[in-house]
Amino acid sequence: MNIHEEPFGEFEGSPVELYTLDNGHGVVVKITTYGGTVTSITTPDKHGNGADIVCGFETLASYFTDQYKGNSPYFGCLVGRYAARIKDGKFTVDGNQHQVATNDGPNHLHGGIIGYDKRIWSVESTAEEDDHVALTLTLDSPDGEESFPGHVEVTVEYKLTADNQLRINYKATTDKTTPLSLTNHTYFNLNGFTDTVLDHVLQLSADRFLVCDETNVPVGEEMKVAGSVYDFNSPKRIGDAFGKLEMGFEHYYAFTKSPDALETVARVSEPKTGRTLEVLTSEPGTLLYTGRYTSDDLKRESGAQFGQFRGFCLETSKYPNGPNIDNAPRSVLSPGTQYDETTVYKFGVEAPIT
């Protein structure tokens, strides 16, 4: 188990670092302080051959190309102050209406023009233990940043364990009531980008999803998934749904578990490599996104081809537009309370390594 730091470039005159977490069992995770971004995750297949299974780049400069900025796919970053969309960029807390940036058509998306993904995070600590290595990042988000109320202090711990789990714990406090929904926006492809993700098999423990309006934001309506193309309660090939959903998934699923219990909510497997991914979370739901908007012009410097349907996200978070939806679980943080959520990505294989 070890963690290694190296320079990753410079942003607006400040140094950016890259941390490599290696658990000694074939899983290697790279994280940069720019956006708290996961740039790389290498895992072994059923034959013990390692490959990078996430969208990301080897240099900081690649996150600032015209192609990447124009497409804005948010590869691997920490998203905040509020993940996903807020209808018309408006919400009311403590009796006061607030207007935030409308950076996705008429709606607010992923924290605005300069969200947490475009900030340099501070390193609070690193740790090397017998059973894990960890990187703890912090961010100071001042009152009024991107027009959100409240001074928010955020701490995110990335912990890679000896049993191939990447555990992400999010903590935050505020001095004013504010919407808060943090997530990691990593795109996975368990075949290592030799093909699309359509042959991946997904099981997702969710009985309903939030229905979006004509501007692609949920406003409160829900739809049961039982017996429909949206139903992944039993394992199903992702591509089987594409006959009816030509552009795939960008749907927020509400889990059947208790809204705040840390439980297994999803399992993904890839038949050719045998790689598996299990997801546990304390969050009430997840956005399942299969990369409909990802540009085919994007690729890793080593040649791995990204693009449409070549990566999927399971963005565990609060409800999109949660501040404007009645009874949306924990979408607003109040002074005197602590935001404390955990999501776990557990990597494995379906057959023993030989």
How far is the C-alpha of 161 from the C-alpha of 346, rounded, in Å?
A: 9
Q: Coil, helix or strand for 354?
A: coil
Task: Compute, in degrees rounded to 10, the torsion defined by CA atoms 30, 40, 16, 155.
Answer: -60
Residues assigned a catalytic role:
185, 315
How far is the C-alpha of 107 from the C-alpha of 69, rounded, in Å?
A: 19
How far is the C-alpha of 347 from the C-alpha of 345, rounded, in Å?
A: 6
At residue 196, what is the residue type?
Answer: T
What's the gap between Cα 47 and its chain centre?
28
Alpha-helical (H) ranges within 199-270 are: none
Would you say 183 and 117 are in contact if contact means Cβ atoms under 8 Å apart?
no
The helix (run of H) or strand (run of E) holding residue 68 is helix 66-71
- Nearest to 204, CA basis, from 308, 260, 275, 285: 285
- Nearest to 190, CA basis, from 298, 70, 312: 312
